[in-house]
C-alpha cells in the first residue's frame, strides 16, 4: 500500500510539472525524489498554474503600454494639464509594477475583473486629460491604438466573456471620448472605423481566449484521467498479485505440503512405497501448477513457437476450461512487433469468454487486413455483451479490455467490439505490421 501511495504521489507531482511546463519531461531520478511528496492537484489548482503564467506575461506586456504613452507624451506633449497627465502616467506605471510584483511573487492574484477595469479607467482618464481625445490636428494616433491593448491583455486571463466585455467597453470609450473631444470637427466615419477595428481585434482575442480556455480544460481532464487510470492500474496489479498468491497457496503449495507429509509418513511407517507414490503424485501436480503459472506470467510458447502457435495454445486451454469448441484460423505467421500485444489481447478476451460468454463455439482468426495491417478477430456465439458493458466494467475498477484497447490504439491500430447478429460477440484489433 505504501508503494502504491508513493507511486501515485510521484505521478501527481509529474502531472503538475507537465501542466505547468508541457516541455518538461521528468526523468526517473526526479520522479523518485518526488515520490514522497503529497500534492494531488484538484480541478482549481491545475488551471491556476496556467493562469499564473498568463498573468505574468500579461503584466510584462503591460510595459509596452507604458512605453507607448510615454513616447506619446514626449513627442506630443499636452499644452494643458501636463502635471495631471504625468501623474496619471505615473499611476499607470505604478499599476504595471504592482501587477508584475503580484504575478511573479505571490500565488494569488487580484480578482479577474480588476485588471481590465484598472487598465480601462486609467488609460481613458489619461487620454482625456492629455488631450488625445480632443487633438484638433488628429496627430496623436495613440488615442486609437492604445485601446487595442485592452482586449489583448484580458485575453491572457482565458475568460472569453470578460475579454468580450472589456473589448466592447474599450471601443465605446474610444468612440465616445473622441466624439466628445471633436464635437466641432467630429470626423464620425473615421472614429467609427477605428472603433470597429478595436471590436475586430476584440473578436480575435475572444476566440483566442476561448481556445486557450478549452486547451487548459482538456489538459486538466487528461491529468485527472491519468491519475484515475493510475489508481485502476495499481488496483489491477494488486488483484493479479493476489490471484497468483491464491493460486500458489491453494494449489502448488498445498501439494508440496502434502508431499512433505507423505515423505514423513514413509519415513516413520513400515510401508514406504505407497506414501512415496502419493508424494510423487503431489509433487507432479505442484510442478504442473507452477509451470502453468510461469506460462501465465511469461508466454514462453509465444517466444519459441510464434504467435499462431501461442494463439492455438491459448484457445486450447480456454476451450478446456470453458467447455466450448475453439478454432484458430490464420493466413499469416506473425504480426511483427505486434505479436505480444495481440497475444495479451487474445488471452484477455478468451478469459472473458470462459467466465461470461457461455459460448459453444469460438473462432480466433489472424489475417492480413491489407499490406500494412494485420487483423486479429475473436468471435463467439455466447450470450453477447451490452453496449455499456465496457463503461460499467471501468466504473467497477476492471480495466482489462480498456487497457488493451488503449494499447492497440496507441500503436496506431483500431479496436472494435460489437455484438453479432446471430448472437455472441466479436472483438477485432487491426494493427500495423511492425
Chain-centroid distance of CA 425 in Å reads: 30
HSE, side-chain direction, 13 A CA sphere, residue 68: 20
Alpha-carbon Rg of the chain, whole angstroms?
A: 36
pLDDT recorded at residue 392: 56
Topology (CATH) of 300-432 = Heat Shock Protein 90 (3.30.565)
pLDDT in tens, 31-78: 333 333 334 444 444 466 777 888 889 999 999 889 888 887 887 787
Pair 291, 247: CB distance under 8 Å? no
Mean pLDDT in residue range 267-279: 80
User: Phi/psi of residue 430, each to 5°?
Assistant: -110, 115
Does 296 or 66 have the greater pLDDT score? 66
DSSP per-residue codes, 370-393: ETTEEEEEEEE-SS---TTHHHHH
pLDDT at 253 over 60: yes
User: 145 vs 12, which has greater pLDDT?
Assistant: 145
Lowest mean pLDDT among 17-21, 162-166, 424-428: 17-21
Average of per-residue pLDDT across 84-88? 90
Q: Give the angle subtended at the CA of 122 by the CAs of 74 and 132, to the nearest 5°.
A: 45
So where are the chain's domains?
41-298, 300-432
Q: Is the pLDDT confidence value at 160 over 90?
A: yes
Residue 377 has pLDDT above 70, yes or no: yes
Q: How far apart are CA 252 and CA 275, in angstroms?
A: 18
The pLDDT, as a whole number, for residue 387 is 56
Q: For residues 336 and 301, is the Cβ–Cβ distance under 8 A?
A: no
User: E-assigned strands of 221-360?
Assistant: 325-330
Averaged pLDDT score across all residues of the chain: 79
Least confident of 76-80, 181-185, 207-211, 333-337: 76-80
DSSP class of residue 270 equals S
Listed ranges 5-9, 56-60, 142-146, 239-243; the one with the highest mean pLDDT: 56-60
Q: Could you tell me if 188 and 179 are in contact, meaning their C-beta atoms sit under 8 angstroms apart? A: yes
Average pLDDT over residues 245-267: 79
Cross-strand pairs, 37: none
Cβ contact 262:278 at 8 Å = yes
pLDDT above 90: residue 205:
yes
More confident: 10 or 89: 89
- Overall pTM > 0.75: no
Mean pLDDT value of segment 97-124:
88
What whole-number distance in Å separates Cα of residue 51 and Cα of residue 350? 48
- H-helix or E-strand spanning residue 389: helix 389-395
pLDDT at residue 298, rounded to an integer: 62
Amino acid at each position: 500500500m505504501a508503494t502504491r501511495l508513493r507511486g501515485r504521489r510521484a505521478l501527481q507531482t509529474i502531472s503538475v510539472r507537465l501542466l505547468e511546463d508541457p516541455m518538461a519531461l521528468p526523468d526517473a531520478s526526479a520522479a523518485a525524489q518526488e515520490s514522497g511528496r503529497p500534492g494531488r492537484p484538484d480541478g482549481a489548482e491545475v488551471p491556476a498554474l496556467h493562469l499564473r503564467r498568463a498573468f505574468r506575461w500579461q503584466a510584462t506586456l503591460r510595459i509596452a503600454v507604458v512605453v507607448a504613452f510615454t513616447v506619446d507624451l514626449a513627442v506630443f506633449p499636452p499644452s494643458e494639464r501636463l502635471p495631471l497627465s504625468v501623474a496619471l502616467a505615473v499611476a499607470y506605471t505604478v499599476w504595471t509594477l504592482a501587477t508584475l510584483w503580484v504575478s511573479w511573487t505571490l500565488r494569488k492574484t487580484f480578482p479577474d475583473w480588476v485588471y481590465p477595469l484598472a487598465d480601462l479607467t486609467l488609460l481613458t482618464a489619461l487620454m482625456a486629460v492629455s488631450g488625445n481625445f480632443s487633438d484638433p490636428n488628429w496627430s496623436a494616433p495613440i488615442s486609437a491604438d492604445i485601446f487595442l491593448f485592452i482586449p489583448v491583455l484580458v485575453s491572457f486571463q482565458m475568460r472569453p466573456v470578460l475579454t468580450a466585455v472589456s473589448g466592447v467597453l474599450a471601443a465605446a470609450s474610444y468612440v465616445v471620448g473622441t466624439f466628445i473631444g471633436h464635437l466641432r470637427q467630429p470626423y464620425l466615419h473615421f472614429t467609427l472605423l477605428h472603433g470597429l477595428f478595436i471590436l475586430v481585434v476584440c473578436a480575435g482575442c475572444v476566440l483566442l481566449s476561448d481556445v486557450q480556455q478549452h486547451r487548459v480544460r482538456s489538459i486538466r481532464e487528461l491529468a485527472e484521467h491519468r491519475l484515475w487510470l493510475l489508481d485502476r492500474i495499481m488496483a489491477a496489479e494488486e488483484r493479479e498479485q493476489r490471484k497468483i498468491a491464491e493460486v500458489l497457496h491453494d494449489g502448488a503449495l498445498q501439494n508440496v505440503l502434502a508431499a512433505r507429509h507423505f515423505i514423513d509418513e514413509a519415513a516413520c511407517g513400515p510401508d514406504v512405497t505407497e506414501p512415496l507414490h502419493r508424494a510423487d503424485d503431489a509433487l507432479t501436480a505442484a510442478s504442473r501448477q507452477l509451470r502453468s503459472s510461469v506460462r501465465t506470467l511469461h508466454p514462453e510458447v509465444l517466444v519459441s513457437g510464434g504467435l499462431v502457435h501461442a494463439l492455438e495454445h491459448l484457445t486450447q486451454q480456454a476451450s478446456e476450461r470453458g467447455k466450448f469448441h475453439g478454432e484458430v484460423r490464420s493466413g499469416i505467421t506473425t504480426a511483427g512487433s505486434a505479436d505480444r500485444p495481440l497475444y495479451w489481447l487474445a488471452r484477455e478476451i478468451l478469459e472473458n469468454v470462459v467466465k461470461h460468454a457461455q459460448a459453444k463455439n469460438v473462432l480466433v482468426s489472424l489475417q492480413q487486413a491489407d499490406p500494412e495491417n494485420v487483423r486479429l478477430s475473436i468471435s463467439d456465439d455466447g450470450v453477447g455483451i451490452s453496449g455499456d458493458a465496457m463503461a460499467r466494467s471501468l466504473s467497477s475498477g476492471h480495466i482489462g479490455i480498456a487497457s488493451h484497447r488503449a494499447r492497440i490504439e496507441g500503436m496506431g491500430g483500431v479496436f472494435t467490439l460489437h455484438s453479432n447478429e446471430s448472437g455472441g460477440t466479436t472483438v477485432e484489433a487491426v494493427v500495423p505490421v511492425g
